């Protein structure tokens, strides 16, 4: 099993450009998540999905969009990149959303917007 994979690993964007961060999991998990991690901070939830076709906002959704057309894939889109979106982005998945079910994380995408 590859677990959770993310592409690209690194990206530099100019202000106003758009891009899609890819996330795929092969564990047949229904729940998937996108987080951002800023220096010295914990992870903040951007969006999450409870299954194909169902997504919902997390704590910091502004400036991002998601879609979930399959169980495996959960791409995150930045439409108009801003310097405030410079961060490390992590995708995660879990078997369930409640209780002791841990989340499995991808290796992250380091994004710089200049």
Partner 1 sequence: AQSVTQLDSHVSVSEGTPVLLRCNYSSSYSPSLFWYVQHPNKGLQLLLKYTSAATLVKGINGFEAEFKKSETSFHLTKPSAHMSDAAEYFCVVRPGFQKLVFGTGTRLLVSP
Binding site for partner 1 (CB under 8 A): 4, 40-45, 48, 58, 90, 92, 97-100, 102-108, 110
Taking Cα atoms as reference points, which of 77, 7, 92 lies closest to residue 45? 92
Closest CB to partner 1 among 77 and 97?
97
Closest CB to partner 1 among 62 and 99?
99
Closest CB to partner 1 among 14 and 101?
101
- Measured CA to CA, the distance from residue 33 to residue 56 in angstroms comes to 10
Q: How far is the CB of 54 from partner 1 (least distance, A)?
A: 15
Eight-class DSSP state of 73: B
Taking Cα atoms as reference points, which of 27, 28, 32, 29 lies closest to residue 54? 32
């Amino acid at each position: 099993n590859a677990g959770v994979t993310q592409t690209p690993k690194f990206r530099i964007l100019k202000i106003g450009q758009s891009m899609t961060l890819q996330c795929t999991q092969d564990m047949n998990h229904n729940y998937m998540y996108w987080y951002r991690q800023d220096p010295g901070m914990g992870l903040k939830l951007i969006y999450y999905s409870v299954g194909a076709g169902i997504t919902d906002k997390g704590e910091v959704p502004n400036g991002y969009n998601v879609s979930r057309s399959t169980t495996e894939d959960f791409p995150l889109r930045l439409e108009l990149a801003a310097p405030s979106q410079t961060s490390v982005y992590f995708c995660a998945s879990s078997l369930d959303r409640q209780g002791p079910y841990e989340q499995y994380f991808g290796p992250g995408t380091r994004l710089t917007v200049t």
